[in-house]
Amino acid sequence: MATITGFIEKIKFRNEENGYTVLIATDQHDGDEVVMVGNFAYVGEGDMIQATGRLTEHPIYGEQLQVESYEIKTPEDTLSMERYLGSGAIKGIGAALAARIVRHFKADTFRIMEEEPERLSEVKGISEKMAMAIAEQVEEKKDMRQAMMFLQNYGISLNLAVKIYQEYGPKLYGILKENPYRLADDIPGVGFKMADEIAGKVGIFTDSDYRVKAGMLYTLLQAVGNGHTYLPLNELLKEASELLKVAPSAMDKHLMDMQMEKRLVVKNTPEGQIVYSSQYYYLELNTARMLHDLNIRGGIPEMEIKSRLLKVEQQESIQLDGLQEQAVMEAVNSGLLIITGGPGTGKTTTINTIIRYFEMEGMEILLAAPTGRAAKRMTEATGCEARTIHRLLELVPAPAATARDIPGAPGGKGGPSGMAGMHFERNEENPLDADVIIIDEMSMVDIHLMHALLRAVNVGTRLILVGDVDQLPSVGPGNVLRDMIDSQCFNMVKLTRIFRQAAQSDIIVNAHRINEGQPVDLAKRSNDFLFIRRENPDAIISAMVTLIQKKLPGYVKAQPYDIQVMTPMRKGALGVERLNQILQSFLNPPDKTKTEKESGGTIYRVGDKVMQIRNNYQMEWEIVNRYGIPIETGSGIFNGDMGIIREINDYAELLTVEFDEGKRVEYSFKQLEELELAYAITIHKSQGSEYPAVIIPMHSGPRMLMTRNLIYTAVTRARTCVCLVGLPEVFAAMAGNSMEQKRYTGLRQRIEELYALEEEE
């Protein structure tokens, strides 16, 4: 065993989850550099360390000390003190100032810093304010080190321990012993289960008030993950009881307390009581109020609109049908308008006519959609720039304390996950500068994004919402478009006529047949809607590989990577996870020229097609020109964004993905859990996208997944060709299964309540 005392010169590598660190220290006795390897709770460059361990010889890096125990020491001799203070460990003290401090106080330097910090101002160049700032840093480093050691006793990772210390400081000891469930409320990354584990180690009882309240809120939060904004009281009590292992009666008494604490809102409905976490109730209520305020009528005479519309039709060489014409008329005279309809019913023509009409009036028009792919499609269809809603609202890092405690605020406690530290620049104080705002693919917009959008729209600005209400609802909580339509409080035009050109497409005709519950003739010889019968999963996969590699690229004039396999399930023989491994082996097999990285059981290889699987609002991207010079930068990569791995750098531990529009993003190897292979994706993840061809395996699966609106959504993602591969009876069962997963959302009720109040007044 060897013991070495020295200064930490450089931290070469550190895993913030488990503390595994490789550092270089300078031995204080002979000045030699020593590489130390081990698990360190909290160390920083400039610290003086005394480490004990075994000296080993690494084949590449040479001699290393495998550290078994260590201690951070306070330097005792004046030379060590001067070196520590001048190392950069304390901000504001460089080598020259460190020398003056030690020369003045000698061996008493650290006692002065800890016990009489005001005396530091005796040294030339240090004001009283600076003296106190230096003392605070010395104390904080000592406090933080102690906190790291304390939190590790409870199985808390170092990365999380730093967040806890930054949130609570020295108060963390009292909080952990009294109410560790506060961590789940206050700190991103700490859920109820982690807080509950800590509480068990601290010795908090199973029926503790803190535990029961935290468990009820956690149950509501889990429901949000499934798209709900509230739960019926009976369901909440049942699910929370199973989670907490306490009787439902033990929770009844907390309902009133949590309402008084403004943490829950309980509403009476004809079906019984329902329970919201407060932020989701106010998200819905404020969304309803803003929609109500925008919903005003104009007074432009019908003949005047028709006269101008005729000019647009003549200029564009188009002729609108009655419903399209009605949509334009409503757009001109409505503060808020919903346009809905299936594929081929003329939504794009209607939007384009509305745009041209308002352009002729000299109005400022903004276009947006929920995803990058949907915005790109909108741009191509209209010839006008469309942005994602996030870019429209100017998502940026938030200044300190912005929106932290505002229920439902982006980045606040009710905001979407991943938005901590971010906010939208556009809001009621800095609204969007436009006369008309048109949002496409509205079925994808959840309650968070709708609330943020409405905050940035001035009353008097026309807001036109376009979408297909029969598609799958948003991935995030809420059912905004359906709730708005079902309330019957807003002007809505539903386009139903399939136009002649669209009627020649079996994709469009069959999509409507599926949606209306009518049979589809799978035996028909079609140019764009093909059914290939295969009996078992392996035969289905073999047919899909042949289609992607040989049959479809030439037929639809696209690369194999542009052809998308979509499946209802994640697990199973034809689930996303298995399909991606198989398709990767055919479409991007191992190659000596292609770097690869294994992470979490997945091999990522240069050239792989990948998808971002959660919103990351802080992730920075850049678009570079052909010379490699950045021409545009920004932040935010979102759930469902797809790209190609362009580079894997083992030395820097970085993987570079190029997304749509040429956005390049660098992922550290620790962030690879945010990516998954995307040769096959779930149908849910396809929302808002369009592909030259889609391939859909048709084999047995859970009835709750194999639904009509799922297959309808999948079919409508294809631009040129749909290939269904498998069993006809499975397709027929899906098309006949009109069951939709129930979402508990209350936006419709909040809207109806506002209009009912207005009528009473």
Same domain, 486 and 568: no
Provide the number of structural domains found in the chain: 5
Domain boundary among 44, 72, 100: 72
CA 49/CA 728 separation, integer angstroms: 70
How many CB atoms within 10 Å of residue 432?
Answer: 20
- Looking at residue 407, its pLDDT comes to 37
Q: In the prediction, which pLDDT does 115 show?
A: 80
Give yes or no: residues 262 and 297 share one domain: no
* Domain presence at residue 513: no
Residues 361 and 380 in one domain: yes
Mean pLDDT of 219-232: 92
Q: At what angle do helices 506-515 and 708-715 cross, to 10 degrees?
A: 160
Least confident of 139-143, 211-215, 363-367: 139-143
Q: Name the pTM for this structure.
A: 0.76
Domain shared by 141 and 248, yes or no: no
Confidence of residue 405 (pLDDT cuts 50, 70, 90): very low
Please tell me whether residues 133 and 254 are part of one structural domain. no
Minimum mean pLDDT range among 104-108, 352-356, 516-520, 656-660 = 104-108
How much is the mean pLDDT over the chain? 87
pLDDT digits (tens, 9 = 90+) for 112-135: 887 887 888 888 888 888 888 888
Which residues span the domain enclosing 375? 292-498
Separation CA 690–CA 373 (nearest Å): 8
Q: Is residue 759 part of a domain?
A: no
Q: Is residue 25 part of a domain?
A: yes
Q: Which residues are annotated as a binding site for ATP?
A: 344-348
Within a domain: 280: no
pLDDT on residue 412: 41
**Closest Cα to residue 51, out of 63, 34, 76?**
34
Of 274, 305, 340, which residue sits at a domain end?
274
Q: DSSP characters for 646-692?
A: EEEETTTTEEEEEEGGGEEEEEEGGGGGGEEE-SEEEGGGGTT--EE
Q: What is the pLDDT of residues 70-109, one digit of tens each?
A: 877 766 677 777 777 776 667 778 778 888 888 888 888 8
Same domain for 264 and 399: no
Mark whether 242 and 368 lie in a shared domain. no
Residue 760: is its pLDDT beyond 80?
no
pLDDT at 600 over 60: yes
Query: What's the pLDDT at 192?
Result: 79
Percent of the chain, pLDDT > 70?
93
723 conformational bin, left if phi > 0, alpha if psi -120 to 50, beta if neither:
beta
> Within this chain, do residues 39 and 83 fall inside the same structural domain, yes or no?
no
C-alpha distance from residue 189 to each of 160, 161, 360, 638 (Å): 8, 11, 51, 18
Residue 418 pLDDT greater than 70, yes or no: no
Q: 328-359: per-residue pLDDT in tens?
A: 999 999 999 999 999 989 999 999 999 999 99
Given a cut of 60, is residue 717 above it in pLDDT? Answer: yes
Model pLDDT, residue 403: 39
Amino acid at 373: R
- In whole angstroms, what is the distance from residue 378 CA to residue 677 CA? 26
Instruction: Please indicate, yes or no, whether residues 557 and 703 belong to a single structural domain of this protein.
Output: yes
Position 158 scores a pLDDT of 63
Residue 505 domain-assigned (yes or no): no
> Does residue 200 lie within any of the structural domains?
yes
- 555/483 same-domain check: no
What CATH number is attached to the domain comprising 57?
A: 2.40.50
**Quick one: pLDDT at residue 593?**
92
Question: What is the predicted pLDDT for the residue at 421?
Answer: 63
Same domain as 636, residue 489:
no
pLDDT at residue 187, rounded to an integer: 78
Long-range contacts of 518-523 (CB under 8 A, 24+ apart): 519/732, 519/735, 520/731, 520/735, 522/724, 522/728, 522/731
| Both structure tokens of 423 | 């906010």
Binding site, annotated residues: 344-348
Nearest-5° angle of CA 119, CA 122, CA 124? 140
CATH of residue 263's domain is 1.10.10.2220
Asked if the structure places residue 170 within a domain, the reply is no
Q: Same domain for 263 and 335? A: no
Q: According to the model, what pLDDT value does residue 742 have?
A: 86
* CATH number, domain with residue 101: 1.10.150
Q: Look at residue 262 in the predicted model and tell me its pLDDT.
A: 93
User: What's the pLDDT at 308?
Assistant: 93
Most confident range, picked from 141-145, 207-211, 471-475, 580-584: 580-584
The whole-number pLDDT of residue 76 equals: 66
Least confident stretch, 404-413, 534-543, 722-731: 404-413
Q: What per-residue confidence (pLDDT) applies to 14?
A: 75
Tell me which of 195-204, 297-306, 517-526, 557-566 is least confident: 195-204
Return the pLDDT at 617: 79
* 181 assigned to some structural domain: no
